[in-house]
Amino acid sequence: MLAGIAVVALVVDIITKVVAVANLHPGDPVRLLGGAVYLSLTRNQGAAFNIGGTGYTAILAAVAVVVIIVIIRFARRLRSWPWAVALGLVLGGAAGNLTDRLFRAPGPLRGGVVDFISVFSPDGHPWPIFNAADSCLVVGVIIAVLLELTGRRIDGTRAGRSADDAKAADEPEPVAAGRAGGAERTDAATTAATAADAGPAAGGRPDPTDAGTGAETPGETSRDAGSDGGDRAASGGPATGRTDRSS
- 221 inside domain: no
Q: Which amino acid is at 67?
A: V
Average pLDDT of the residues in 82-105: 96
Residue scoring higher pLDDT (111 or 213): 111
> At residue 121, does pLDDT exceed 50?
yes
* Predicted local distance difference test score (pLDDT) of residue 189: 58
* Predicted local distance difference test score (pLDDT) of residue 5: 98
Q: Please tell me which residue in 13, 28, 123, 134 is annotated as part of the active site.
A: 134
* Predicted local distance difference test score (pLDDT) of residue 115: 95
* Predicted local distance difference test score (pLDDT) of residue 234: 42
Could you tell me the pTM of the whole model? 0.63
What is the spatial distance between Cα 32 and Cα 107, in angstroms, rounded to a whole number?
A: 33
With residue 227 as reference, give the H or E element that holds it: helix 218-234
107 pLDDT band, cuts 50/70/90, is confident
Average pLDDT of the residues in 31-60: 81
Note if 115 is an active site residue. yes
* Predicted local distance difference test score (pLDDT) of residue 106: 85
Note if 134 is an active site residue. yes
Q: Please tell me which residue in 115, 170, 207, 228 is annotated as part of the active site.
A: 115
- 247 inside domain: no
CA end-to-end span of the chain: 122
Parent domain of 104:
2-159
Number of domains the chain is built from? 1
Residue scoring higher pLDDT (198 or 240): 198
> At residue 235, does pLDDT exceed 70?
no
- 69 inside domain: yes
* Predicted local distance difference test score (pLDDT) of residue 45: 79
- 103 inside domain: yes
Instruction: Give the residues across from 25 on adjacent strands.
Output: 28
- 153 inside domain: yes
Choose the weakest-confidence range: 8-12, 20-24, 155-159. Answer: 155-159
- 105 inside domain: yes
What is the spatial distance between Cα 81 and Cα 202, in angstroms, rounded to a whole number?
A: 66
Sign of the alpha-carbon dihedral angle for 8, 14, 19, 24: positive
Residue scoring higher pLDDT (203 or 4): 4
Q: Tens digit of pLDDT for each residue in 169-224?
A: 445 555 444 555 555 555 665 666 665 555 554 444 444 444 444 444 444 444 45
What is the spatial distance between Cα 232 and Cα 237, in angstroms, rounded to a whole number?
A: 5
- DSSP string covering 24-69, please? -BTTB-EEEGGGTEEEEEEEE-SBGGGBS-SS-HHHHHHHHHHHHH
Strand pairing class (113-119; 30-32): unpaired
- 212 inside domain: no
Q: Maximum distance among all alpha carbons in the chain?
A: 161
- 85 inside domain: yes
* Predicted local distance difference test score (pLDDT) of residue 212: 45
